[in-house]
Chains A and B, each alone.
Chain A
């Protein structure tokens, strides 16, 4: 193949754009992990073969024989509306079909592909309104998609589609029109902060690596999205892998690197496959390799699969894992920008951060700053899961409120139940409550209330979720994933889990709560890495906002949520001597009775604090379950 020059890349892009514009009919089958699990690939195969049987011309890539009138079948990235999958979108009408089954396919071909009419019953319906166009559905209408823009509309395996959407134009601009300093300044000016959790300015990181003495430097992408309930990065890698690669290439230009690694979790086989295909296409075309576009810039990219260790999301553990070692964090400094992979200066950012880069270079830092908040510009992708109506992948400007996300986009709580809490930021994050619903979500505001944006997992919980049990769940996760290197995390999380398990089993005491708080403080201050330092966040935040539920477990020894039934306290008349101690100790004045006569508890006033239970010398206080 002729060497790829800037002119030829430009010509390819123009050609791809023309081909895309000429597309008459497109059938987009969602091929994200969620919809594939729902059977979307079988639907794809059936629709395509059935169309062919009927003598219709089909094609599966932009550059494919069949002519402009051929139906273009695409396996697209995640549309985000996972709750409604398998999803099927048909262009040019823009119909979005939900919960598509094989049985629906013949009708879809007859009515829509041939006739251009909607199959009404497959359209999304909310409150009696049917939505024909996907962008009118409230779930999509309230979002602003930058990183996920092309995720559900393009074929991730077709590089021409990426080119048709100005693919690698940002890289071209950075390569030919900007110096390494210019690139760092543009990213710094944009205010882009790391989307992996900590929110460190990406531009500053790149500039630190750039300033390191010349020599071997690395660019590493953290695709080890380990937070349970988070799948933003997976969706980007599956749906728009080239955007991540282009972001890394620009980072390599800025930092002076010629080699990069993408570290992907083992649980994401599809993301690995799509990235492999994307890298292979880039290498064939000449966008990766030596002397790219005839310049002296060379860049080689490798993929490393994780092997199931959450801690490898931590920078120094991740680089250790790439080196083929146990993924254990080390003491810092030196920082990764000074001594990262193979002890060389390393740029390490996460998937979503890199995916933002091409857009910033193309549209400018001022454009990026116009989205989101002053200190946290841009958008953020969130995975919205749990007890919410519209589970899925969303993207909103920074500063959007939880209320907008959960109720406007998410459609509220499943089965008409009441909202209770939302867990944000995974096992390192915290639980927020009703009082935080109007809090603008950005890096700094969340820190103030004891949570973090983390990678962007939002797990919504309804009134049927016991928060003590939830805290135990997260502690069990962290304890299991603790690498064992430092004592506070290794031993501390183990003890915390024991205490939490005891409390959940109604065998804890009030002192246990103090112990939990003390241990939390110690672990947070002394653990070696971010995993340990943040391990107690779910416990601290639930103790702060849901203390009543802990009290139900340790004082009443009965949690109405865990047991599903309410309990009430009663005084056994045969044991009560009428001493009045319970009455004096009751903070709610819920107990009444004459002295030396059996007393009674008014359950309307009783708050189940257990003060009477502790005060009674005769063991007359009993708890009985209501039917």
Chain B
């Protein structure tokens, strides 16, 4: 099936089909689809008249771009220094275990959650912090973090049940 190209083409047009705006284009496409698919990367390269390898090299260089689809809810545990010295590590470990993740697998089997770290949100006064879908949760500990996830899971379960 032909991918939905209209949206991507309109994003490209908004950036004047200019290769100098590649990063901004990738950001907007990812915001739309939550990841960068191979089809979209190829479409971007073709439209900008640059090689796919150039697009791929930029997409893989920057931490914020994902070439894999993510879960419905995105959890980010801050791994900045201030959060680290206020023990954010155990929070990440607890969530990791709770979601049954392993190795490079960062998305739970039910597709509900993706776990990531973020270098620093700059909310160091609230350390350690965790964000769920962009909302900041301050002064976390492993128990509170898991309780938040339990809540979301229960809500999702109720919605589907």
Contact = CB atoms under 8 A, between A and B. Distances in A.
Interface in B100-138: 118-127, 129, 136, 138
Given A33-B121, A85-B125, A228 B63 contact: no
Interface stretch (A9-17, A277-285, A386-394): A386-394
B120 A228 contact: yes
Given A307-B65, A325-B58, A267 B124 contact: no
Nearest to B117: A480
B81 A385 contact: yes
Contact of B85 (A38, A326, A386): A386
Contacts of A587: none
B81 A229 contact: yes
Interface string A315-337: 00000011111111000000000
A338 interface: no
A95 interface: no
A228 B64 contact: no
A322 B18 CA distance: 12
From B19, B27, B120, residue with most partner A Cβ within 10 Å = B120
Contacts of A456: none
Contacts of A36: 136
Contact of B120 (A229, A304, A305): A229
B125 A392 contact: yes
Contacts of A386: 81-82, 85-86, 124
A228 B58 contact: no
A582 B52 CA distance: 67
Contacts, number: 127
B124 to A, nearest CB: 4
A387 B21 CA distance: 41
Contacts of B81: 228-229, 385-386, 423, 426, 457, 459, 473-474
Interface in B7-29: 19-24, 26-27
A228 B61 contact: no
A229 B21 CA distance: 30
B62 A308 contact: yes
B124 A385 contact: yes
Given A37-B129, A324-B58, A308 B19 contact: no
A38 B124 CA distance: 12
A309 B21 contact: no
Given A229-B81, A307-B27, A308-B63, A324 B21 contact: yes
5 closest Cβ pairs, A-B complex? A82-B125, A308-B63, A228-B80, A307-B62, A37-B136
Interface of B: 19-24, 26-27, 57-58, 61-65, 79-82, 84-86, 118-127, 129, 136, 138
Interface of A: 33-34, 36-38, 82-83, 85, 225-231, 234, 266-268, 304-310, 321-328, 383, 385-387, 391-392, 423, 426, 457, 459, 461, 465, 470, 473-474, 477, 483
26 contacts: A33-B121, A34-B125, A82-B126, A225-B122, A229-B82, A231-B123, A267-B118, A308-B63, A308-B64, A309-B62, A310-B119, A321-B23, A322-B20, A324-B21, A324-B22, A324-B58, A325-B22, A327-B62, A383-B124, A385-B127, A386-B82, A459-B85, A473-B81, A473-B84, A477-B79, A483-B61
